Amino acid sequence: MQLLDGKKIAGAIKLEIREEVQKIKEHGGEIPHLATVLVGHDGGSETYVAYKIKDCEEVGFKSSLIRYEDDVTEVQLLNKIKELNADHDLHGFIVQLPLPEHISEQKIIEAIDPKKDVDGFHATNVGRMVIGLPTFVSATPFGIMELIKRYNIETKGKNCIIVGRSQIVGRPLSILLSQKGVDATVTVAHSRTRNIKELCGSADILIAALGSPGFVSKDMVKEGAVVIDVGTTRVPSKETKSGFRLKGDVLFEEVAPKCSFITPVPGGVGPMTRVSLLSNTLLAAKKKIYS
């Protein structure tokens, strides 16, 4: 069994990005600038945004944080997005999800200029990804594909089961894995899937992305499978200062001995998600997508 060490790979990618930023500086180019719009004080969002700001500092990006309280109106948020779209000093920005119930997340996503949509959620970027055009791929699928690539995991002809059909992870990842050159045979399972235990047990590559702690047990994984755990659910813990810990969708201790490769939680997919956002922002600054 070998760990898919997302923290290690993300660190290597950060060094590569930092070197590119240094070259941009030396040639008098525009330093990549990423902004985050944060609404409210959700604990998970606060932590994630803090990491993003730190990541930007490490690679030499400019970063901006725009805060609103939970009572911000949808119109106010849309006006800010319009302002950010027009800001020529800003190469990419994200609106941190989730948003308060009175704000339509889809309306907010669709208001973002696709050229600055480094989260890769806009319908234009999703559509470009589907037909194989250059685009901003959403960060978690982007990170998972990079992890598979850098560990030289064979995908051609492999049976890949993705548990979870979200628009952020499961659906885009199924398209990326089935594209020419990757060539996996992909099945997307979900809450209505029958015989899910047996289905998972047939997977050469099993990706758990449903947000259900400990869902995947050892009897759902075949010997030698590659297991990628996307789950990062915060569960109460008396053993940590924060009062919580992250738990994945996979029962790591019992599943790991059966695997050829497996991601830990934390330290697996999470760091790859964050570094993929940096990669997209660098692409935006270099205008490699919409040029």
| pLDDT tens track for 198-230 | 999 999 999 999 999 999 999 999 999 999 999
The residues of the chain that CATH labels 3.40.50.720 are: 139-270
Q: What is the DSSP letter of 30?
A: P
Based on the residue annotation, tell me whether 96 is a catalytic residue of this protein.
yes
The residues of the chain that CATH labels 3.40.50.10860 are: 28-114
Q: Which among 63, 68, 56, 58 has a CA at the least distance from the CA of 96?
A: 68
Distance CA 146, CA 139 (A): 10
Q: What is the DSSP letter of 268?
A: S
Domain range 28-114, its CATH number among 3.30.450.40, 3.40.50.10860, 1.10.3720.10, 3.40.50.150: 3.40.50.10860
Q: Which of 55, 119, 204, 249 is catalytic?
A: 119
Give a three-class secondary structure readout of 170-226: HHHHHHHHHCCCCCCEEEEECCCCCCHHHHHCCCCEEEECCCCCCCECHHHCCCCEE
Based on the residue annotation, tell me whether 167 is a catalytic residue of this protein.
no
pLDDT tens column, 97-122: 999 999 999 999 999 999 999 999 99
Q: Token digits for 26?
A: 């030396």
Based on the residue annotation, tell me whether 156 is a catalytic residue of this protein.
no
What does the mean pLDDT of the chain come to? 95
First to last CA, the chain: 43
Q: Is 217:251 a contact under the CB 8 Å cutoff?
A: yes
Q: Which of 14, 52, 115, 247 is catalytic?
A: 52
Whole-model pTM: value is: 0.94
Answer positive or negative: Cα dihedral of 146, 124, 172, 47.
positive
Asked if the model's pLDDT at residue 8 lies above 80, the reply is yes
Order of strands, sheet of 2-3, starting from the edge strand that comes earlier in the sequence:
2-3, 259-262, 225-229, 205-208, 159-163, 185-189
Which fold would CATH assign to domain 139-270? Rossmann fold (3.40.50)
Peptide bond into 141 cis (omega under 30): no
Q: Token digits for 145?
A: 């594909």
Q: Token digits for 155?
A: 């995908």
- pLDDT number for residue 167: 93
Q: Which of 96, 116, 247, 249 is catalytic?
A: 96
Order of strands, sheet of 62-68, starting from the edge strand that comes earlier in the sequence:
62-68, 33-39, 92-95
pLDDT tens column, 39-83: 999 888 898 899 999 999 999 999 999 999 999 999 999 999 999
CA distances from 52 to 3, 164, 274 (A): 24, 25, 7
Phi, psi of 242 (to 5 degrees): -75, -20
Angle made by CA atoms 129, 45, 177, in degrees to the nearest 5: 25
Asked if the model's pLDDT at residue 232 lies above 90, the reply is no
